Amino acid sequence: MKTIHVDTGNPYDIHIERGIINRCGSIIRELSGAQKVTVITDSNVAPHYQWCVLNSLSEAGFTATSHVFQAGEQSKNLSTIAEMYNTLADFKMTRKDIIVALGGGVTGDMAGFAAATYLRGIDFVQIPTSLLAQVDSSVGGKTGVDIAQGKNLVGAFYQPKAVLIDPDTLSTLPDKFICDGMAEVIKYGCIKDKDFFDSLAKGNALENIEDVIERCVTIKRDVVSRDEREAGERILLNFGHTLGHAIEKLYNFNGITHGMAVAIGMVLITTAGEKNGITPRGTADKIAEVCRTYGLPTSDEASLVEIAKAAQTDKKTSGSDINLVLLNEIGSSFTQKVELEKLYDFISKN
């Protein structure tokens, strides 16, 4: 088992081990004197993993139940959270009891938000089952939901008691979500670790997935430990996301996945970095090549005018500037404020 300690306000461990899901009960027992556990999971994950988690929890002496919601980003809203509260209250969960988030990023974000708010906060453990959740969303304590005005606009910073990562669960994850997660994996190499990026370029990341997950989680741990609430360095984790998010918006979050949009966003912003004399020429091509190796697109039909406009009107953009994440070179990144009105000029410079 690989263990990575996260030293945030409420410290916790991340454990990575094949098959760990089958013994999650005894690990959670060591962390919690809870009597009851509610496992929150979605309709795609439940058939594969719900029973082994519930069995392991009851073998460890917990009284456990589950709450299954309809899989997908469209469920990531306050009415799904309200249904979770109903289950927690009907099951008479107390402040000493614990929630297990079993699933991808949607499950982790929502179960974490339910844990942060039910009875003003109860413990929760993440068992992430998508690649994106294993390398990114389960670590760092961002929880929340979407509202009509935009994605992730309501939420809380709330750290789990532990994160249990079982790479074997990726065997049932559809290929398109593996690609999606790989965009975040590539992002870590770009912003923090050239050697890691070079190793991804060999194309065999999935054969060494435990090491890949460990490297990504360690990078994220280091960043969030220094900047838990995204006041500075944590913004680097948004590399490729500002333009990526704008592209997702142009598609109405339909027909393009988050990872595909981030891959295109990383290439576009790095191309802009090159044109503005910040990033060495050829860097965007290298990123594009690695993205293609893992089945990700690197360009889109949308024009830079449309992309800039969508980024400028993003609900999360406040004030007159936008924070862009740029590369000095692969493995070294920084943020630069650009006036919102000049975003198009910046990304379209010749």
Ligand X SMILES: NC(=O)c1ccc[n+]([C@@H]2O[C@H](COP(=O)([O-])OP(=O)(O)OC[C@H]3O[C@@H](n4cnc5c(N)ncnc54)[C@H](O)[C@@H]3O)[C@@H](O)[C@H]2O)c1
CB of 244 to ligand X, least distance (A): 11
Q: Is 166 in the site for ligand X (CB under 6 A)?
A: no
HEC readout, 196-242: HHHHHHCCCHHHHHHHHHHHHHHHHHHHHHHCCCCCCHHHHHHCCHH
- Which tokens in the block code for residue 277? 């004399």
36 contacts 64 by C-beta, under 8 angstroms: yes
**The amino acid at 256:** I
Which residue in 56, 130, 242, 283 binds ligand X (CB under 6 A)? 130
CB of 110 to ligand X, least distance (A): 9
Which residue in 100, 101, 106, 236 binds ligand X (CB under 6 A)? 106
Alpha-helix residue ranges (DSSP H) falling in 102-174: 105-117, 131-132
CB of 139 to ligand X, least distance (A): 7
Q: Hey, which residues between 134 and 163 contact ligand X (CB under 6 A)?
A: 136-137, 140, 142, 151-152
Which residue in 172, 204, 299, 328 binds ligand X (CB under 6 A)? 172
Which residue in 118, 124, 177, 344 binds ligand X (CB under 6 A)? 177
CB of 317 to ligand X, least distance (A): 17
Q: Hey, which residues between 26 and 65 contact ligand X (CB under 6 A)?
A: 42, 44-45, 48
Q: Is 228 in the site for ligand X (CB under 6 A)?
A: no
180 vs 228, which CB is nearer to ligand X? 180
25 vs 181, which CB is nearer to ligand X? 181
Q: CB-hemisphere CA count at 13 Å for 18?
A: 6
Q: Count interface residues toward ligand X (CB under 6 A).
A: 29
Count the Cβ atoms, other than its own, within 10 Å of residue 286.
17
**Buried b or exposed e, range 302-322, using 16+ CB within 10 angstroms:** bebebbbbbbeebeebeeeeb
Q: Is 76 in the site for ligand X (CB under 6 A)?
A: yes
Report which of 119, 100, 120 is spatially closest to residue 110, judged by C-alpha positions. Answer: 100
CB of 303 to ligand X, least distance (A): 26
- What is the widest separation between alpha-carbon atoms in the chain? 65
Sign of the alpha-carbon dihedral angle for 140, 141, 142, 145? positive
34 vs 164, which CB is nearer to ligand X? 164
- All residues at 6 or more sequence positions from 85 whose CB lies less than 8 Å from its CB, including other chains: 114, 118
Give residues in contact with ligand X (CB under 6 A).
Answer: 42, 44-45, 48, 71-73, 76, 103-107, 109, 129-130, 132-133, 136-137, 140, 142, 151-152, 169, 172-173, 177, 180
